Amino acid sequence: MLMPMQLMAALSMSSLLFAQVANGGSQASPTDAAHDAETLVRSAMAAEKSGDIKTAIEDYRKALAMRSNLMDAQVGLGEALVAAGHLDEAIEEDTRALDANPQNELVRRNLAKAYYQKGDLRNARVQLEALHGAHPSDVQTAILLAYTYNKLGREADAAALLAPLEPGHEGDLGFEYVYAYALISSGKQDEGLPKMEKLAKAKNSAEAWMVAGTARYYRDDMVQARADLDAAVALNPNLPGLQTMAGQARYAMLDYPAASFAFQAALRANPMDFVSNRDLGAMRLKGGDTESAKPLLELAFQLHPNDPLTRLEMAKLNDESGKYAEALAVLEELVKSEPKWSDPHWVLAQVYSEMKHPEDAKRERGIAHEMEMKQKAEKK
């Protein structure tokens, strides 16, 4: 018969054996944990592929809880968090993984994308420059870095970055778009514009036609600007800012009905569009419709009171309304702040004439005429 102490020892041994059986007979081995983690990663990848990002994130986290240095889980978690829009979490996870393994370029790429999508372009640039330095011939990294440079106002750097990579990638529309944009924006329009227009035609891209048309407009190439911008409108009339640019090109070509149509479309999309308010108001004032011009010009002036064109149109409006003192005050400021601009002098001549000051009117007409003759001579 067992003694009490022996009985206690037997019970203790039985409890230990029961625990071992319940846990599969022993502690889980490192090999089993690794297998389970890899199974979770495969499950997460399948969930992500099917669009179940929430499950993918959960499974990646479970896998990393088992094996904190499992690269596929680190990379996959960062990608899934970005896909879910959890950019701060993605940055936190990727930064932690990169600190543990600075050579993990897939994690660094994810971190760069997370920063880029968040709009933190400076940190995106740092990560992308590190990747580009390690792999200068990697076109996809170069494209993303060039986009980042463009958004940071470093278009010349973007163009210099992509120039040596263009041979062999002329058919890559993504490459050509960012390269052409960088060239146009850095002043190399003779190189960039043909590329952008070729791309716009090949890709049937409203965005590319708009970039090209806008550049043509600011080069004073109005015929081609209008053609490019009209092509963009035909493809996507709701592209932000497009109707305003199309209106400006048509206005510059004195096609007032077509310009008015575009400006009105722009104002339906955004009633606070400064340029459309200003230019549509100016057209209506020129056409003698002072009543409908007034609210448009007043809103434009409220939005940008220091814009010279807006101030000039407000002076014209005041003149038409018989508010000569207000018109004179604005025009006298304009001739001082814009000494090479003849238009304020012409309007001053008109105001003085209506105020029965013929000598002042004659003087202003003479100044305006002399300025224009001098400018014509300089262009020759």
**pLDDT value at position 35?**
61
- The amino acid present at 165, given as its one-letter code, is L
Cα separation, 321 vs 345, whole angstroms: 19
User: pTM (2 decimals)?
Assistant: 0.76
| Residue where the block lists tokens 């005050």 | 329
- Which fold is adopted by the domain 37-118? 1.25.40
> What letter represents residue 338's amino acid?
E
Q: Which amino acid makes up residue 312?
A: L
* CA atoms of 193 and 251, how far apart (whole Å): 22
Model pLDDT, residue 63: 84
Determine the residue type at 105.
E
Instruction: State CA 124 to chain mean position distance.
Output: 15
Nearest in space to 229 (alpha carbons), one of 251, 253, 245, 252? 245
Predicted local confidence at residue 100, as pLDDT: 84
Q: What is the pLDDT of residue 40?
A: 83
Whether the CB-CB separation of 333 and 323 falls below 8 Å is answered with: no
**Which pLDDT score, from 0 to 100, does residue 26 have?**
40
For residue 337, the one-letter residue type is S
In this prediction, residue 47 carries a pLDDT of 83
Task: Give the three-state DSSP class for 270.
Answer: coil
Q: How far is CA 342 from CA 218, 311, 312, 336, 375, in A?
A: 20, 14, 11, 12, 10
Q: Each residue's pLDDT tens digit in the chain (380 positions)?
A: 334 444 333 334 333 332 333 344 444 444 554 568 788 878 888 887 888 888 888 888 888 888 877 878 888 888 888 888 899 988 998 898 888 888 889 889 999 999 999 999 999 999 999 999 999 999 999 999 999 999 999 999 999 999 999 998 888 888 999 999 999 999 999 999 999 999 999 999 999 999 999 999 999 999 999 999 999 999 999 999 999 999 999 999 999 999 999 999 999 999 999 999 999 999 999 999 999 999 999 999 999 999 999 999 999 999 999 999 999 999 999 999 999 999 999 999 999 999 999 999 999 999 999 999 998 888 77
Give the pLDDT score at 234: 97
Give the separation between CA 128 and CA 92, rounded to whole angstroms.
Answer: 17
- 8 Å CB contact between 98 and 71: no
